[in-house]
Structure 1
Amino acid sequence: MIFKRFIAALCLALPAGASFADITVVDDAGVRVTLAAPAQRIISMAPHITELLFAAGGGERIVGAINFSDYPEAAKKIPLVGSNAQIDMERVIALKPDLLIVWQSGNTGRQLEQLGKLGIPVFQSEPTRIDQVADSLTRLGRLLGTEKLAAVAAARFRADVAVLGARYGKRAPVRVFYQIWDKPVYTLSGKHIVSDAIALCGGTNVFAGLKVVAPSVSVEAVLQENPEAIFGSEQYDPGEAGIGIWKPYRSMLAVERGNLFRIEGELLTRPGPRVAQGVAQLCEKIDLARQRRK
């Protein structure tokens, strides 16, 4: 009898609609996302989100994904719901998700508006700094109910990055140009996680101050900045010029010293757990540029 009275009193003390199962986190847009229970059917709207979900212990709960969600290997078997240019809304509804995780920069405003009208909880993911990758893992673990697995993954990521920062972060600065496309020339500003990675390695992104996340820059602008090292993605097509477009400019420091470097772009441009591997490659190359100073 006393126990029943205690439960009744406790229920009266709770706000209307409160639930012991409610899970609330704040996404990267600053919006509070609340679930009544851990998510069981998730649609991932970006490749980096898919990687984060697998690392946080929720890979088996992804019922739909966007194209290029190809890591880890199991991700290739997930049914696709479209691309960053076009989402199949009927397919999304048919999969009956209880959580949509979207990419602010990669999904169009029209798509985000349409998804928001479905009445399904939406979590927006946009890590722009390296430490936010670990934060993303822990928040997703909360939404999944896999907090312990997510915490382990986040701690491992933080430890790997901390080692790199301690090793390279205070070495002599190197001016870096990071190229993501050559026709026209596109780079990444200080608003992208790649710029944070460059800084962690003791480098300086020469176009960090631009307002657009992925701005187009002229050849003349790059020549004027005269970077000491230039980075670009691996060459997959033999006919692709990539960072090779700078070879004719022999007076540029990066060309003069042989500092045109290719790295696996997805390891850095996808803000997921593999960023730690990308940062390791980046730091090694930036340090090589230091060693080539006359």
Structure 2
Amino acid sequence: MKFLEKKWLAPLAISLLLVGCNSEEPAKNDDTETTENAGASEEAGPYTVVDDRGVEVTFEQVPEKIVSLQPSNTEILFELGVGEQIIGATEFDTYPEEALEIERISDSMTINTERVIELQPDVVFAYTVGEETHIEQLENAGLKVFVIKTAATIDDVYGDIEQIAEVLNVEEKADEIVSGIEEQIAAVQEKTASLDVKEKVYFEISPSPDIWSVGSGTFQQELIEAAGVENIYADQQSWFAVSEEDLITRNPEAIITTVNYSEDPKGEILAREGWSNITAVQNEEVYELNADILDRPGPRIGEAIELIASAIYPEIFN
């Protein structure tokens, strides 16, 4: 589902809507091949690309005007070099800086379908959770809607980049981007491979009093593992409410927080009653990392993995 920015919703809703990776969702469609040769040339006739609903979306020509309904897809579009073609985005599309200039046609919960229809985009990149009614309205108005299920894995991110590139006839650029991410991740893992023991880390996505963390089946778990770190809650599934008593018993050696809507997330954690015996708190190994980078399954995932690894293992990155 989608993690946009946590300041606009209650933390749990953010976890479920903005970062994507619900293990209960159906598996991401692997059949991303075109049923016809997608955009053999910019002058080519109709071509068809399959979206993550399994729907074949046919384009008469390569789309020029784009609406993006998810920040991670907006980042992908800019990375593919077609960001200037985006004419509508969500109010949480904050990266790159140029994205701030795009007209806002969606807030955290709703899409201004009337405005989207008025803009007459050639394609709307939507996502799979909570937008069924909007998708139907847009399609009934004759718009091309291409649905991208929010990535649950690193490989899913590569697939998203490739699908979007296929729609826009920039497949070679997608190959470059994926290769660059793979190299970035490999460079991190080359450093962490020398570690004898992985540090035990607690990853917080929502603060006290309603504390939530991430377990297996989440996008964040993929990043944590790729960074050479051990999630103390890898035995849990999806997003879940944390028992403080259980967390204290598990005694993490470091804490990562992506909470970005309180004044001092790190200070709040260090000052929590009853947490003073936790090793991470005693050693002040609490790290506030950029939520937009860690929570968005887009082209910055290599950077996200490096952020985690360099925070936990600064000695091997200096």
TM-score category, normalised to shorter length: 0.7 to 0.9
1:37 to 61, 66, 78: 61
Amino acid of the structure 1 residue aligned with 2:155: D
Shift of the alpha carbon at 1:122?
A: 2.2
TM score, norm. by length of structure 2: 0.75
Q: 2: CA distance between counterparts of 1:229 and 1:115?
A: 46
Distance 1:235 1:101, change over 3 A: closer
Corresponding residue of 1:272: 298
Q: 1:46, 1:66 within 8 Å by CA — same for their partners in 2?
A: yes
Corresponding residue of 1:11: none
Q: 2: CA distance between counterparts of 1:246 and 1:26?
A: 49
Q: Does residue 1:204 correspond to 2:214, yes or no?
A: no
TM score, norm. by length of structure 1: 0.80
1:224 to 249, 254, 259: 249
Shift of the alpha carbon at 1:77?
A: 0.9
Q: How does 1:9-28 map to 2 (within 5 A)?
A: 21-28=45-52
Distance 1:22 1:224, change over 3 A: farther
Amino acid of the structure 2 residue aligned with 1:227: P
2:147 to 113, 123, 131: 123
Q: How does 1:59-78 map to 2 (within 5 A)?
A: 59-78=83-102
Amino acid of the structure 2 residue aligned with 1:204: E
Shift of the alpha carbon at 1:69?
A: 0.5
Distance 1:154 1:233, change over 3 A: same
My pick for the range that moved more, 235-244 or 279-288, is: 235-244
Structure 2: gaps of 5 or more residues: 1-35
Q: 1: CA distance between counterparts of 2:132 and 2:269?
A: 32
Larger relative contact order (CA 8 Å, sep ≥ 6): 2
Corresponding residue of 1:138: 162
Larger radius of gyration: 1
What is the number of equivalent residue pairs in this alignment?
A: 271
Identity across matched positions, percent: 27
Q: Secondary structure of the residue that 1:208 maps to in structure 2? A: coil
Distance 1:127 1:249, change over 3 A: same
2:280 to 245, 254, 257: 254
Distance 1:169 1:37, change over 3 A: farther
Distance 1:254 1:93, change over 3 A: same
* Cα-to-partner distance string for 1:153-201 (whole Å, 9 max, x where unaligned): 2221221112112322563222221111114112223222211111012
Q: 2:199, 2:254 within 8 Å by CA — same for their partners in 1?
A: yes
Shift of the alpha carbon at 1:123?
A: 2.0
Shift of the alpha carbon at 1:247?
A: 7.2
